[in-house]
Every structure is written in C-alpha cells, then in structure tokens.
C-alpha cells in the first residue's frame, strides 16, 4: 500500500513539474493579408507575416503547408528565442490561373501553446491588358 501511495505521489509531482515547464507562444502582427487588385501581367505577389515569440521557451516552426501549389511559404528555420521575432514569407503565383478573386491559407505547425495556426492571403487578379 505504501508503494502505491508513493508511486501516486511521484506521478502527481512529475505531472506538476511537466506543466510548470515553459512553453513557446506565437503572436502574429496580423494573420490575414489582402493584396488588393493586381494584373495578370505581373501575377507574382508576396507578403511577409511577422510574429513574436511571447512565450518563455524557444519557438520552432515545424512545418508550413499551403492550401495550393500556387502559394509558397518560406519561414524562419531556426528556433526563435522568447521575446524575439521571426517571419513567414508567402508568395502567390497566379501564372496560368484564371483571373478573379482568390483566397489561400497557410497552415503552420509549431511547438507553441497553439500548435496549429492558419495564415490567409487573398486578392483579385485582373485579366491581362489587351494589346
């Protein structure tokens, strides 16, 4: 019986210790960007999302996945220390796409308190100018 009580106390203490450990937390300046209207003559547009690690442990972005092959994310590969900033650059390539409105998402997988985050880009690509 004493062993059972001892092991239960050890389990409770180890769980408490695990929760007391610091955790990274990510805060973006904004999670949505609208490119507005741009021409099919210049179909490639980019935007850089900026974020801060507001937690108390290093932040790591494990993966960034776009909802479409026309959208490419590039992100800070090294751990971001608490209080420091990082970026996620998103490039949309409308070459070969139909003109009109688009909305794309980028899913980030991190070690932060909120492990999955989504960023969004949208815009309106107008048809090529007639010559």
CB 118 within 8 A of CB 108: yes
Taking 3-state DSSP, the helix, strand and coil percentages for the chain, each rounded to the nearest 5, stand at 15, 50, 35
CB 32 within 8 A of CB 120: yes
- pTM of the predicted model as reported, rounded to 2 decimal places: 0.81
Per-residue pLDDT of the chain in tens (131 residues, 90 and over written 9): 666 665 566 666 555 444 546 899 999 999 999 999 999 999 999 999 999 999 999 999 999 999 999 999 999 899 999 999 999 999 999 998 999 999 999 999 999 999 999 999 999 999 987 54
Taking the chain, what is the end-to-end CA distance rounded to the nearest angstrom? 89
Question: Parallel, antiparallel, or unpaired: how do β-strands 116-126 and 32-39 relate?
Answer: parallel
Q: Decide which of 2.60.40.10, 3.30.450.80, 3.30.565.10, 3.30.200.20 is the CATH code for 23-126.
A: 2.60.40.10
CB 79 within 8 A of CB 58: yes
């Amino acid at each position: 019986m004493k062993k059972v009580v001892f092991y239960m106390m050890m389990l409770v203490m180890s769980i408490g210790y695990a929760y007391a450990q610091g955790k990274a937390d990510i805060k973006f300046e904004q999670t949505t960007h609208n490119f507005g209207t741009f021409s099919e003559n210049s179909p490639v547009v980019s935007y850089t999302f900026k974020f801060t690690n507001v937690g108390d442990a290093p932040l790591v972005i494990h993966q960034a996945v776009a909802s479409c092959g026309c959208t490419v994310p590039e992100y800070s590969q090294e751990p971001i220390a608490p209080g420091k900033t990082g970026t996620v650059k998103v490039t949309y390539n409308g070459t070969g796409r139909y003109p009109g409105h688009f909305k794309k998402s980028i899913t980030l997988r991190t070690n932060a308190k909120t492990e999955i985050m989504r960023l969004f880009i949208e815009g309106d690509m107008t048809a090529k100018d007639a010559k």
